[in-house]
Each structure stands twice: as structure tokens, then as C-alpha cells.
Homo-oligomer: A and B are copies of this chain.
Amino acid sequence: MGDQLTIACIREFNRSYTIVQGLLDRKFMDTVFSVTETRMLYELYSLPHCTAKLLVETLRIDKGYVSRILKKFERNKLIEKAASSQDKRTYEIRLTPVGGNLVADLINNTNERIAELIAPLSSNEKEELCEAMNRIRNLLEKE
């Protein structure tokens, strides 16, 4: 298949999928958290022994900005900083129970939106959807 057609197809997909993602992200807007803050919370949720440095690297945000947001999280009792014995410049960041619950809520929230999105689909269609998504991931993750 030709590159030009493929490119056009990908452009179209991106356009339409951006709309889908907008639908799913919507609820975040209603919360007190910015997109960046939400991304950080997700990261903290999935990386149990996270550090500020790791956030900076994986999310590619300014370290000063990260530092400030973490301080805000701390004030709000969403995270705790645990001094690392290895390296005294660093500390380990953990979600508090409150913080963990909050992230879980965020996740549930998007899950509900996703559920709405796939509600019209039959079992077979859902399977097809998953297959298509996995196929795309496999093809593009060749890197």
C-alpha cells in the first residue's frame, strides 16, 4: 500500500480519535486538577516507588513545575515524601490512601465513559475493536 494513502488514513484517524479522547478526558476538566496534574497522579499511581526525577523524565515537564505541583499535592495530603536512605537529595513519593482513592476515582470515571462509548457494540464488535487496537499498537511499536 502507498505511503500517501496511509498517511491520509492516519491523519483521518488522528482527527477522529482526538474527538474520542476529548470525550473521555472531559471529566478531568470538571475536577480541580489540570491535565498535567492528572497525568502526574496517574504516574504516581502506577509507579509505586516514584521520584520527582522520574516524573520529569517520563512526562517531560519542567522540574520546577513538578516540584511545585508535588508541594501542592503534599499540602492536600494526596502524597507523602519518604526520605530515601540511598540518596539524600531524593525522596520517594507515595500516594496517601486519600490520594490513592482519588486516582482510583479518576480511573473509574474514565472507565465509565469508556463503557458508555462501547455500550452500542455487540460482543463481537468489542472483540474486533480490541483486535484492531492491539494490531495498531503492534505495528507502531516496532520503532
- At the interface, is chain A mostly helix, strand, loop or mixed? helix
Q: Using a CB-CB cutoff of 8 Å, which residues 122-142 of chain A contact chain B?
A: 123-137, 139-142
A interface size (C-beta, 8 A): 46
Task: Please measure, in the bound complex, the distance between the C-alpha atom of A139 and the C-alpha atom of B46, giving whole angstroms.
Answer: 30
Task: Please tell me if the beta carbons of A125 and B139 are within 8 angstroms of each other in the complex.
Answer: yes
A117 at interface, CB cutoff 8 A? yes
- Chain multiplicity (copies): 2
Contact of A115 among B3, B9, B13, B124 (CB under 8 A): B3
Which of A20, A114, A132: most chain B CB closer than 10 A?
A132
Task: Please measure, in the bound complex, the distance between the C-alpha atom of A111 and the C-alpha atom of B7, giving whole angstroms.
Answer: 7
Q: Can you list 7 residue pairs at the A/B interface with Cβ under 8 Å? A: A2-B126, A6-B126, A13-B136, A14-B21, A14-B24, A17-B136, A129-B139
